[in-house]
Structure 1
Amino acid sequence: MSTTPLLRDWFAIVASSAPAAEFHGDRVGLEEYLEQREKSALTHHILLGARVNGTELVLGETRRGGASEASFNASAELSADGARFGWLLMSRSPQVRFAG
């Protein structure tokens, strides 16, 4: 079982088949962003993850055509039942590489 099931599912469902791009805003803005973005260009792969109390943290890389393009990290505070995000913070940089 994954130590970060909510973030694992986030990337499997929402981000693994679509490219990374900048986003900031509320839920409606996120839904609009997800609807308009290009599909199947850049995929996300979690390399390391941990759950600490009510927070999930992951390190990973984005790949284009199977080749590593950038690293990312994501942190998510979970709801009391662990089924939803209270907040979600992600960043991505082509200048940093994690050795998962």
Structure 2
Amino acid sequence: MTTNVAVLARWFAYMDSDDPDRVLGMISDDFTMSVQFSQGAGKSAEFVGDREGLVSYLAQREKSTLVHHIDVGSVVGEYELVLGRTTRDGAFEASFNATAQLDAAGAVRRLLIARTPEVSFTR
């Protein structure tokens, strides 16, 4: 059961591809982000910043290894919110939440993502 979360669906499709840098074309001039990334067992990192922060995040991540699945999503005004999971070779890897605030042109102004392998909503 998802709602039309077209921007985040495209964002994660780009992230799952061989060319995730395409997300750079989706952000506004005043973009700000935080990605809270847990590997489990208390090991986590936060990636923050503006466009350059996103460039740094993209440079360090694996390409074409994870698949993002949006399980539920909603649009509330200028916000898209999703709950989903990532898989690696078809097996559960982590749950994630993502919230994007869009500008009037539909570009991503603010992005907050949190992920953890410690909680699964499908088990």
RMSD: 2.0
Deviates more, 1:54-63 or 1:27-36: 27-36
Partner of 1:10: 11
Unaligned runs of 5+ in 1: none
Aligned partner of 1:55 in structure 2 is 79
Alignment of 1:4-43 (within 5 A): 4-13=5-14, 15-17=15-17, 22=45, 23-43=47-67
Higher RCO, 1 or 2 (CA under 8 Å, sep at least 6)? Answer: 2
Further displaced range: 35-44 or 55-64: 35-44
Give the structure with the larger strand fraction.
2
Equivalent pair of 2:82/2:98 in contact (CA under 8 Å): yes
Distance across 2 between alignment mates of 1:37 and 1:69: 15
Secondary structure, aligned partner of 1:63: strand
- Deviation digits for residues 44-76 of structure 1 (CA, Å, limit 9, x no counterpart): 111111101110000100111110111001001
Q: Runs of 5+ in structure 2 lacking a partner?
A: 19-34, 38-44
Indicate the larger mover: 26-35 or 58-67: 26-35
Q: What is the TM-score with the length of structure 1 in the denominator?
A: 0.82
**Mapping for residues 81-100 of structure 1, pairs under 5 Å:** 81=105, 83-99=106-122
TM-score normalized by the length of structure 2: 0.68
Alpha-carbon shift at residue 38 of structure 1 (Å):
2.1
Equivalents in 2 of 1:43, 1:17: separation in Å?
9
